[in-house]
Amino acid sequence: MARIFVTGAAGFIGSTLVDRLLSEGQEVVGYDNFSTGREEFVQKALACPGYSLVRADVLDPFALTQAMRGASEVWHLSANADVRFGLSHPRKDLEQNTLATSNVLEAMRHNGIRDIFFSSTGSVYGEATVFPTPEEAPFPVQTSLYAASKLAGEALISSYCQGYGFRGLVFRFVSMLGERYSHGHVFDFVRHLLKEPGRLPVLGDGGQRKSYLYVGDCVEAMLLARKNMSEGFDVYNLGTDGYCTVMDSIGWITGLMGLCPRLEFSGGQRGWVGDNPFIFLATGKIRALGWDNALSIRQGVERTVGWLLDSRWVMGEG
C-alpha cells in the first residue's frame, strides 16, 4: 500500500495535491510547519481517515526522518516561495530550499525511500534566450536567490538518483493560479482593489509577460508524469502554451470586479531586481504523455479572482 509523504502539505499546491491523492483513496502523510501554510487548507484533508498531518519543520532532520517512516514516496513541495524579497534575507532561500531539500533526501535515504517529486521553477532558466524555453535550454545564469536555491535542490536530487539509485522527477513551474492561491500578482491586485478601488499601483511598466497555470492542471500533470516514471532522473516543464501581460491580467481582474481604477506604473521592464521579465516554458514533453491544460490563462486568472472574492480571509493582514 502506497503511503505518500508530502512536505508543504498546508501550502497552496501541496494541499491541492493532498486533497487530490486522498480523493483517490491514497494514504497520505502531510508535513508542514505552518509558517506560510494555512489551517484552512488542511481542513478538508483532516476529515479523511487516510490522512495524517505532522506539524514540524523540514529544517529539523530528526522530526523529518521520524515522520517519513513507512512512506513509499516523497513529494517535496515545501519552499520559501517569497521570490521577491530574497535580497532582504539572503540565507532564507538557501536554508528553506537548498538545505531543506538535502534534509528531505537524507531522511529518505535513512528510511529506504527512493522516489522523490520536486517542485522547481521556470526561473531556473534565468534570462532565457529561447522561447518557449525547453528543458534542455542552454546552461542558464541564475538571476535570483530563489532560482539559485531551487537549481541547487534539483542538482542534489539528480546526484542522489545517480549515486544512491533514487528516482526523481523535477517539475519546473510557471506561476500557479487557482483556489488557495495566496501570493503573487493577482493576489496583490485583488487585495489592493478591495481596499482602494479607484487606483492600482503596478510594478514595472505592465508589459511584463507572464505565463500561468491552473493548480488543478498542475496536479494532473505531475500525477501523469509519476505514472510514466522510469528509472533515474527526469525534468518536466509545467505551464500553458501561451502567456499574458500584466496589463491583460489587470483587465480581466478589474473586469470581473466591475472596477476601472487609475493605473500607477512604477516604470521599467521589471517589477523588481531579479524579477524575470518573461518566463514562458515549452511544454511539449509533458504534453507528449497526453496531458493538456483544462483551463486557459484567462480562465485561471478569472477562477482565482472568483475564489479570492469568496475567500477574503486569505487576504487579511493577520
Question: Taking the CA atoms of the chain, what radius of gyration do you get in angstroms?
Answer: 19
- The contact pattern for its own copies, residues 211-240, with x = CB under 8 A and - = no contact, is ----------------------x-x-----
Evaluated on CA atoms 30, 68, 106, 140, the torsion sign reads negative
Is residue 82 at the binding interface for its own copies, with CB under 8 A as the rule? Answer: no
- What is the closest distance, in whole angstroms, from the C-beta atom of residue 282 to its own copies in the complex? 12
**Closest to 46 measured CA to CA, from 72, 10, 7:** 10
Looking at residue 261, the DSSP 8-state letter turns out to be P
Q: Specify the stretch interacting with its own copies by CB under 8 A; choose among 1-9, 17-25, 73-81, 144-152.
A: 144-152
- What is the closest distance, in whole angstroms, from the C-beta atom of residue 187 to its own copies in the complex? 23
Q: Is residue 193 a contact partner of residue 140, using CB atoms and an 8 Å limit?
A: no
Tell me which amino acid residue 140 is.
P
- What is the closest distance, in whole angstroms, from the C-beta atom of residue 135 to its own copies in the complex? 7
Is residue 138 at the binding interface for its own copies, with CB under 8 A as the rule? Answer: yes
- What is the closest distance, in whole angstroms, from the C-beta atom of residue 316 to its own copies in the complex? 30
φ/ψ bin of 300: left (φ > 0), alpha (ψ from -120 to 50), beta (otherwise): alpha
Question: Is residue 236 among the annotated active site residues?
Answer: no
Q: If DSSP codes are grouped into helix, strand and coil, which group holds residue 258?
A: coil
Residue of 23, 35, 162, 269 interacting with its own copies (CB under 8 A): 162
Nearer to its own copies, 91 or 199 (CB): 91
Looking at residue 97, the DSSP 8-state letter turns out to be I
Is residue 50 at the binding interface for its own copies, with CB under 8 A as the rule? Answer: no
Q: Which residue has the cell 524575470?
A: 276
Tell me which amino acid residue 308 is.
L
* Active-site pick, 31, 125, 146, 181: 146
**Closest to 185 measured CA to CA, from 216, 210, 215, 219:** 210
Residues found near its own copies in the complex (CB under 8 A): 86-87, 90-91, 94, 98-99, 102, 105-106, 109, 125-126, 135-145, 147-149, 151-152, 154-156, 158-160, 162-164, 233, 235, 273-274
